Amino acid sequence: AQSVTQPDIHITVSEGASLELRCNYSYGATPYLFWYVQSPGQGLQLLLKYFSGDTLVQGIKGFEAEFKRSQSSFNLRKPSVHWSDAAEYFCAVGENDKIIFGKGTRLHILP
Amino acid sequence: EAQVTQNPRYLITVTGKKLTVTCSQNMNHEYMSWYRQDPGLGLRQIYYSMNVEVTDKGDVPEGYKVSRKEKRNFPLILESPSPNQTSLYFCASRTSYEQYFGPGTRLTVT
């Protein structure tokens, strides 16, 4: 069965530091992959998605993610975080009729 | 503006009192879903619909009903709510794997 694992429940980084949020998936074929962000009290916003092609995907707000088939990973990165990036981040895997979400990583930013 | 709307945004109710959370999208999407979000559990799919009159169970369908009589609307019905259904609920619609979420409905069942 499909599954999505986000190993880190919480991550704390200093403002201006680089960020990498981990996501691993279990899926038989090449999956459709997503990263969503949820700010406090808000809904979910799509940051980026991967369907095929270039394995390095650029998203909104300066985020990028890299699909690594050999590692079954789709990690989210940002070179320099801002205080406004504090939020919860969800990785998701899609198949024909559903999208499965990881349990989320909450990002805290130190001033 | 392309959007998914949900109503109400906040609801406090008592055990056993039937309620409906409405969901509407203006993007002509065929595929719609309901999720619940609970701390530490992420988003779990309750029901989904691939088209009008076509609905199917997601991962956590117990205690919920849905209907899809027209493409734009996909209401979530709790016939007899219980405290374990206290949660944050999201409706979503999508096409070609671009999924749009509603703003969420925070439900408290006492």
**Span B84-105, pLDDT tens digits:** 999 999 999 987 667 899 999 9
In terms of CA atoms, which chain A residue is nearest residue B36? A101
Tokens of B46: 């309750």
How high is the mean pLDDT of chain A?
91
Confidence of residue A29 (pLDDT cuts 50, 70, 90): confident
Counted residue by residue, chain B has a size of 110
In this prediction, residues A56-80 reach a mean pLDDT of: 95
Our measurement of the distance from residue A64's CA atom to the centroid of its chain's CA atoms, rounded to an integer in Å, reads 9
Residue among B73, B80, B1, B2 at smallest CA distance from B34: B73
Examine the pLDDT at A57 and tell me if it is beyond 70: yes
Instruction: Let me know: does A76 contact A91? Beta carbons within 8 Å.
Output: yes
pLDDT at A28: 67
In this prediction, residues A39-63 reach a mean pLDDT of: 90
A43 to B40: CB separation less than 8 angstroms, yes or no:
no
pLDDT at A98: 74
A97 to B48: CB separation less than 8 angstroms, yes or no:
yes
Q: Could you write out the three-class secondary structure of B20-79?
A: EEEEEECCCCCEEEEEEEECCCEEEEEEEEEECCEEEECCCCCCCEECCCCCCECCEEEC
Of A44, A49, A102, the CB nearest to B101: A44
B92 to chain A, minimum CA–CA distance in Å? Answer: 10
Give B94's contacts in chain A (Cβ within 8 Å).
99
Residue among A59, A34, A52 at smallest CA distance from B42: A34
Tokens of A10: 């919480």
CA distances from B100 to A43, A44, A46, B29 (A): 10, 8, 8, 10
Compute chain B's Rg from CA coordinates. 13
Tokens of A53: 């092609």
In terms of CA atoms, which chain B residue is nearest residue A104? B42
In 10 A of CB A18, how many CB atoms?
11
Give B5's contacts in chain A (Cβ within 8 Å).
none
